[in-house]
């Protein structure tokens, strides 16, 4: 997947890959089937990404869900999302 970044050093990844950090406390993860909007959580002094919403269709739906749920997106992350292909499967293939 050409659009992946290195996992956040502070938050370990388990199976899903960090695609993009949206802002403090929010990120888009991805697996083979979908984007996963995740929130940073802390349990027993250990940070992890908690999957919240799953979008396997297109970027328009991803952006709609982010807006509806009130997820803060910094300008750099939004600029990156705007460069992504419209469909998840095309993004995954790039």
Domain boundaries, the chain: 17-87
Confidence (pLDDT) at 14: 52
Q: Which helix H or strand E contains 21, and what residues bound it?
A: strand 17-23
- CA 77 – CA 63 distance, rounded (Å): 12
Confidence (pLDDT) at 44: 87
Rounded to 5 degrees, φ, ψ at 70 are 75, 25
Average pLDDT by consecutive 10-residue portion of the chain (94 residues)? 41 71 96 96 90 97 98 97 97 94
- CA 76 – CA 49 distance, rounded (Å): 20
pTM as predicted = 0.82
Tokens of 47: 């940070």
Q: Which helix H or strand E contains 41, and what residues bound it?
A: strand 35-43
């Amino acid at each position: 997947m050409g659009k992946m970044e290195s996992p956040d050093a502070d938050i370990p990844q388990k199976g899903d890959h960090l695609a993009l950090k949206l802002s403090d406390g929010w990120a888009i993860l991805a697996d083979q089937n979908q984007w996963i909007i995740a929130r940073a959580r802390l349990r027993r002094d250990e940070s992890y990404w908690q999957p919240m919403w799953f979008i396997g269709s297109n970027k328009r739906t991803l952006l709609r869900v982010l807006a509806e749920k009130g997820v803060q997106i910094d300008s750099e992350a939004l600029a990156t999302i705007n460069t992504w292909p419209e469909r998840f499967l095309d993004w995954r293939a790039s």
